[in-house]
Amino acid sequence: MTQLILDLGHRSASGEADFLVAPSNAAAVAWIDGWPGWPAPALVLHGPPGCGKSHLAAIWRARAGAPLIAAESLTVEGVPDLLGAAAGAVVDGADRAEERPLLHLYNFVAERRGHLLLLAEEPPARWSTGLADLRSRLLAAPPVALLPPDDALLGALLVKLFADRQVAVGQEVILFLLSRMERSFDAARRLVEALDRAALAEGRAITVPLARGVMERLAAAQSSLPSDGDKSPGVT
């Protein structure tokens, strides 16, 4: 697995864990690195849950001094307080935000010559935006996709997550996990945590048999949840 790590770049995440760079997120990284030279007041990072949007947004927030605003908390009256003295902000779940508050925030930020980083699962062209002024502004914002992580990126992340816990695992364990796990960063984190807990509880190293047992238990627990429950990092 050393080769997987050497094949990938990585950077400081400005107080967060290192952000691993791979083809699936390289375009988004380039846009974040290109700030503040964005061609519009807003940039949209879109992709499936667990693809790294929030992590990359945290890097930009640290650089820009921008607050994080949850879509559900965005109201027209609350925009000044949510933004404070900042010239920009991150809106998480921007595709779920009420339209008039989002337009008000956009205009507020544009007046300050700042930037909005909008996080969503789909690009703005696929949002059901009825407010014409907001739609025109959103369509002018560059949409940048973060793709699901490939095996190289997931493998490097697994190695790093285990190393962060001072746990050494063999290449055969990493390959076993990659062949069966959900393809997301969040799943990798949950899976490493579950394996570390199991190894400590049983007083044994993390091996393929232990990993198989943990993943089977996670899959069984997932199957007992309602259909709209959160996905587990078990067998896909």
Residue 225 confidence (pLDDT): 65
* Cα–Cα distance for residue pair 6/75, rounded to 1 Å: 46
* Cα–Cα distance for residue pair 230/216, rounded to 1 Å: 17
Domain count of the chain?
Answer: 2
Which CATH number characterizes residue 132's domain? Answer: 3.40.50.300
Query: Is 14 inside a domain boundary?
Result: no
Question: 61-73, pLDDT tens digit by residue?
Answer: 999 999 999 999 9
Range of the domain at 47: 25-145
What percent of the chain clears pLDDT 70, i.e. is strictly above it?
87
Residue 184 confidence (pLDDT): 83
Query: Is 235 inside a domain boundary?
Result: no
* 121 and 199 co-located in one domain: no
* 177 and 79 co-located in one domain: no
Domain end call among 80, 115, 145: 145
Query: Is 7 inside a domain boundary?
Result: no
Provide block-wise average pLDDT over 10 residues at a time, the chain (236 residues): 36 52 90 96 92 90 96 96 96 96 97 97 96 97 91 89 91 95 87 95 95 93 64 46
User: In whole angstroms, how far apart are CA 158 and each of 1, 20, 169?
Assistant: 10, 11, 10
Residue 133 confidence (pLDDT): 97
* 53 and 139 co-located in one domain: yes
Residue 227 confidence (pLDDT): 55
